[in-house]
Every structure is written in structure tokens, then in C-alpha cells.
Amino acid sequence: MYAASDFIALSALQHFVYCPRQCALIHIEQVWAENSFTAEGRVMHERVDDGETSYRSGVRTTRSVLLRSSMLGASGIADVVEWHKSNSLEEPFPIEYKRGRQKKHDADKVQLCAQAICLEEMLNLTIPAGALFYGQTKRRFDVTFDSTLRAKTVSTAECVHELFRNGVTPLPEPGPKCTQCSLQELCLPKVVAHNRSAKEYVHKLLHELSEGEI
């Protein structure tokens, strides 16, 4: 169990699975940049996260649901939670909205599973599945929260907490994922060759420019 002061953002788990360095840049160094991909995602979330509740075909839908889990030591917001009636109870079904299309990696699934774990802890129940909706394909993919995905989600949360405690930004590991990352020019994956943060590199570069050294 984690103290509230040690909580991390649920989105950090998604960032860590995608790239530990990206996670550190965003959440430790507070570095951010927007590109066409992040802009599309931001607009999509603005449309979804209006905080309203609606009803359709017997399903109650809530948006911008606040989440927290002491076990994961994480908090955040679920884009959408559908509440399906089962006997006299309502069973939650979390849905995360993403731009683009279904991914080969598990970053989005881990984030969604973390949301489910939060709801389970808050409501004292078990959630077997949720869904990911991708804006490019306009399709919804169901995700089963099996033991493998749950174990990976818990392990990822532990890794993120350890990363934050150490406060050291991992070295870059250049690869195909870099081309779609909005932080590529700030991360400098092909330039940063030793244990130095991107922020420090940029500050040094700006200092050299002001001194006329380059």
C-alpha cells in the first residue's frame, strides 16, 4: 500500500510500457511537446471527458470518473465507465479512448487494466473486462483482465515508483517508436549518449548559444 503523497498518475504506466525514458521526461523532468498525434488525442479526450452521465439501452454511462488505488499507488481519470445491469446490480465496464489504431504493445491495455484495478478497490468488486476505443479505426476492442495482464500492470506500477524514487532519466533506446513520439526532438535519442537528462542537454545548448560558443 502506498501513501497518498507517493501516488503516481495512471497515465505514467502507459508511458512507461511504451518507453521508460518518455515516462521520465514527462513525469520527472516535466518535459512536454505536442505533435499531430498528441493533438488528435487531446481533442478526442476533450470531446469524451465532459463529466456528464447518460443513459442508453439500459446502460448508464459516466465520463471523467476519478480513480485511485492504494495498492498501485496511482490515481487518475477514466474516460468512460459503462454500468451494465446484472440482476439488481450495476457492473462497471471501463473504456479508454485512444487516437490511431490498435497497438502491438500492451501500453494501452496496462493503462486500462490499472483503471479497472482502481475501480475494483474503490467499489470492492471484480471487473473481468473493459475496452479500448481507437479514433482512427472507430472500433472498440474488448480487453480481458486476465492474470497475466494484471501481473504486468502491478509490476509496471512498481517499476514506475522505483523510477520516480531514483529520479534518473533512463538513457534513450532509439527505435521505430521514436518516430511517433512528440518528445523526439527534446529526447534527442541519437544525441544523448551518456547519463545526462535531455533538459540538462538543452540548457547547456542554450547557454552555449548565449555565450556565442556555437
Q: Indicate the helix (H) or strand (E) that contains 73.
A: none
pLDDT in tens, 17-62: 999 999 999 999 988 765 444 445 444 545 555 567 878 878 999 9
* Phi (first) and psi of residue 136, to 5 degrees: -70, -40
**Residue 152: inside a domain:** yes
**Residue 36: inside a domain:** yes
Q: What is the dihedral sign for C-alpha 109, 123, 45, 154?
A: negative
Q: Which is higher by pLDDT, 115 or 189? A: 115
3-state secondary structure 164-196: HHHCCCCCCCCCHHHHHCCCHHHHCCCCCCCCC
Helix axes 10-18, 20-27, angle to 10 degrees: 140
pLDDT in tens, 181-209: 888 777 876 665 444 555 565 566 566 66
For 176, the grid coordinates are 521505430
**Residue 194: inside a domain:** no
Over residues 121-135, the mean pLDDT reads 96
Gap between the terminal Cα atoms of the chain: 50
**Residue 63: inside a domain:** yes
CA distances 44 to 7, 75, 198, 200, Å, are 26, 21, 29, 33
**Residue 187: inside a domain:** no
Q: What is the pLDDT of residue 126?
A: 96
**Residue 188: inside a domain:** no
Number of domains the chain contains: 1
**Residue 198: inside a domain:** no
Taking Cα atoms as reference points, which of 40, 31, 44 lies closest to residue 80? Answer: 44
Task: List, in order, residues 6 or more apart from 53 with CB less than 8 Å away.
Answer: 60, 61, 62, 63
pLDDT in tens, 136-174: 889 999 999 999 999 999 999 999 999 999 999 998 888
Give the C-alpha separation, 110 to 106, whole Å. 6
- For 174, other C-beta atoms within 10 Å of its C-beta total 11
Host domain of residue 88: 4-20+30-167
CATH number at residue 133: 3.90.320.10
**Residue 181: inside a domain:** no
Please state the pTM of the whole predicted model: 0.79
pLDDT in tens, 87-107: 878 999 999 999 888 888 999
